[in-house]
Structure 1
Amino acid sequence: MTQTANRFHRWFAEPGPRPPLGTWLMSAAPSTAEAMGHCGFDFLVVDMEHVPIGVPETASILRAIAGTPAEPLIRLAWNDQVLVKRVMDAGGKTLMFPFIQTAEEARAAVSYTRYPPQGVRGVAAVHRGSQFGRAPDYLKTANDQVCVILQLETPEAVERLDEIAATPGVDALFLGPGDLSASMGRIGEIAHPEVQGLIAHAARAAARAGKPIGIVGPNPEMVGGFLGMGYTFAAVASDMAMMTGRAVEWLAALQGRVQAAEPAAAY
């Protein structure tokens, strides 16, 4: 059996005519992940940080996504060596580390994803990541398959973008606008000019550093603005946001029709 190539590597090395686009998975349901994977998104973010899922649930979601054209990206709960090992053994290859503040934290994150001598990942022979021991030369090739994306979520992290981006083994950066706005004293105000200004600054800094940088936004209009700033990949909203948003929209439309019909029905 052969391993499938990590498409994030190709997207970052050979940018196509449009940036890769994805969405967040907040429902924690494999069926929803599978459905979203057939909607045309390039990647889906499996969120272990703000969604109550652990490694077993993550493995189930990865199995569901595997049958779709989408590429999974796992946002870890924290920069933790044991968690990284377990997620990678469960089949994770593209990992996003939240709240990276320094180059030292960046080096630690990279080391957790690599087998020795490049890193400190623990070795096991049979697990989902190695196709249960059937992937040829897995232990020798696994380091080349992993993709490390680091989240910058504070002004201090953006200020240190150059040194974080220069850390060997870091494939891309990802700006977290929600936490960034909160750390700037503008919680919930992603659209505030000060927040938008720092978001644009981060995109320019990443371009100077020669490092891909992604971001997430709540709607197509804002994400389009981010792409215009120079962000090289982006996620829009989430499965739950799209579901609840459409539900509210349709319910309001039906309620409006019912109310409009009531006077006529009274005659």
Structure 2
Amino acid sequence: MILGRGSSPRGLFLKLPAPQIVEMAALARFDFVVVDLEHSALTDADCISLLRVARLAGIPALVRLPSVDRGAINRYLEEGAVGIQLASVTRVDEVVALRAATRMAPSGRRSVSTTNAMSLFGALSLADYVSVAADSPPILVVQIETAHTVDPVASIIGAGADVVFIGSVDLTVSLDFDANEIRERERAIREAAVGEGALLGGMAGADTAWDYTIVGSDLSVLQTALRSVTRV
């Protein structure tokens, strides 16, 4: 488990199809990585490869998705993803669908196979595999990043979110760069998260102490390093 109130784990978005970056993140003692399938050109095969390396390197990996895709989610969980981060959530039914896609029956609709990495390719019995999955359910991270949501934020979180990630960039654009409105919206989201017992997540550098922090991406870290060398 990478989460816990007050533990402040730090993670990195992965946007490049480079397994070496996963290994370097593990060596640099990042707490987790997030394979970003929302803002990158990564393919399904790239994602599977990065998850495999993360599992072998011993660093927890989540996957960020733009929408709920049951088949893709199942493949990623079978390869070792410890959670799913869902972008731009505005409705309760999105969280309900996400939760169902990540849980096996009777708690959800996730399909079951024992020919995958997490079942040790059949070395685990079906009963043991299902039991392990039930005892360690995937982490569900929902991004709230719009000026308004269709359903109340508290209801969205209460539908099953473990972490509420405030998407500061999209929120800033959604509120037309109005600093006061941005602060008020973030305050309301934080209050809703606390009220529902969820952890708070966001990007490093904000004025808020997060329970789940993304420090940047492989691309942003590389860009910073390149500029430091050329002094641009």
Deviates more, 1:74-83 or 1:234-243: 74-83
Is residue 226 from structure 1 mapped to residue 212 from structure 2 by the alignment? no
Of residues 29, 33, 45, the one that matches 2:22 is: 33
How far is 1:138 from its partner? Answer: 0.8
Count residues with an aligned counterpart: 229
Instruction: Give me the identity figure in percent.
Output: 26
Give the superposed CA RMSD: 2.2
Counterpart CA distance in 2 for 1:158 and 1:175 is 16
1:141 aligns with 2:132: yes
State the structure with bigger RCO (CA 8 A, min sep 6), 1 or 2: 2
Q: What's the secondary structure of 1:157's corresponding residue?
A: coil
In structure 1, how many angstroms separate the alpha carbons of the residues matched to 2:189 and 2:57? 32
Q: Does residue 153 of structure 2 align to residue 161 of structure 1?
A: yes
Q: Are the structure 2 counterparts of residues 35 and 124 from structure 1 closer, same or farther at C-alpha, using a change threshold of 3 Å?
A: same
Query: Is the CA contact (8 Å cut-off) linking 1:23 and 1:239 kept in structure 2?
Result: yes
Question: Which one is further off, 133-142 or 27-36?
Answer: 133-142
Shift of 1:159: 7.1
The one-letter code of the counterpart of 2:223 is T
Could you give the per-residue CA deviations for residues 216-266 of structure 1, whole angstroms, max 9, x where no partner exists? Answer: 24xxxx24x121xxx32211111111111121122027xxxxxxxxxxxxx
Contact 1:215 1:234 in 2 (8 A): yes
Is residue 173–residue 211 contact of structure 1 (8 Å, CA) maintained in 2? Answer: yes
Query: Does the residue aligned with 1:226 lie in a helix, a strand or coil?
Result: coil
* Aligned match for 1:130, one of 119, 124, 136: 119
1:112 matched to 2:101: yes
Tell me the distance in 2 between the aligned counterparts of 1:67 and 1:82. Answer: 23
**Which residue matches 1:201?**
188
User: Partner of 2:87 in structure 1?
Assistant: 98
Question: For 1:56, what is the secondary structure of its paired residue?
Answer: helix
**Structure 2 CA distance for aligned equivalents of residues 246 and 158 of structure 1:** 41
Q: Cα gap change, 1:27/1:103 in structure 2, threshold over 3 Å: closer, same or farther? A: same
TM superposition shift of 1:69? 4.9
Question: 71, 76, 81: which is aligned to 2:65?
Answer: 76
Bigger mean CA offset, 69-78 vs 113-122:
69-78
CA distance in 1, matches of 2:188, 2:107: 32
200-209 vs 31-40, greater mean Cα deviation:
200-209
2:172 corresponds to which residue?
181
**Between structures 1 and 2, the one with greater helix share:** 1
Structure 2: 5+ residue stretches without partners? none
Preserved CA contact (<8 Å) 1:92 1:129: no
Q: Structure 1 CA distance, aligned partners of 2:155 and 2:79? A: 31
> Unaligned 5+ residue runs, structure 1?
1-6, 254-267
TM normalised by structure 1 equals 0.78
Residue in 1 that maps onto 2:214: 235
Are 1:94 and 1:148, in contact at CA under 8 Å, matched by a contact in 2? yes
User: Per-residue deviation at 1:29?
Assistant: 1.0
Letter matched to residue 166 of structure 2: L
Partner of 1:3: none
| Pairwise CA distance, 1:144 | 3.1
Cα gap change, 1:236/1:96 in structure 2, threshold over 3 Å: closer, same or farther? same
Q: Where does residue 216 of structure 1 map in the other structure? A: 203
In structure 2, distance between residues paired with 1:73 and 1:198: 26
Structure 2: distance between partners of 1:135 and 1:181: 47
